[in-house]
Amino acid sequence: MAKRSARVKRGIAIIVLAALPAFADDVYLKGGGQITGEIIARSEDSVTVDVGGGGSITARMSSIVRIEEGISPLQEYRARAEDIPAGDAEAWRELARWAKVRALSSQALKAYSQVVAILSDDQEANRALGRVQLNGEWVTEEESYLARGYVEFEGQWMTPSERQTILAERRAREESDRQSNQAKIQAIEAEQKAEKDREAAEREAARRRSSISWGWGSGPGYWPYPRRVW
State pLDDT tens for residues 105-124. Answer: 999 999 999 999 999 999 99
pLDDT of res. 146: 87
Which residues of 53-182 form beta strands (DSSP E)?
55-60, 64-68, 131-134, 137-140, 151-153, 156-158
Give the CATH number for residue 49.
2.30.30.100
| DSSP element (H, E) containing 77 | helix 73-83
| Same-domain status, 35 and 60 | yes
| Same-domain status, 68 and 100 | no
pLDDT of res. 1: 46
CB 58 within 8 A of CB 47: yes
The answer to whether residue 114 sits within a structural domain is yes
- How many domains are contained in the chain? 2
pLDDT of res. 228: 57
Residue type, position 66, single letter: R
How far is 59 from 29, CA to CA, in rounded Å? 8
The answer to whether residue 174 sits within a structural domain is no
How far is 18 from 20, CA to CA, in rounded Å? 6
| Same-domain status, 68 and 7 | yes
| Same-domain status, 44 and 89 | no
| Same-domain status, 49 and 23 | yes
**183 CB-near residues (< 8 Å, 6+ apart):** none
CB 138 within 8 A of CB 126: yes
The answer to whether residue 182 sits within a structural domain is no
The answer to whether residue 218 sits within a structural domain is no
pLDDT beneath 50: ranges in the chain? 1-22, 218, 222-223
- Which of 28, 49, 72 lies at the terminal end of a domain, its last residue? 72
- Region of residue 155 (left: phi > 0; alpha: psi -120 to 50; beta: else): left
| Domain range for 54 | 2-72
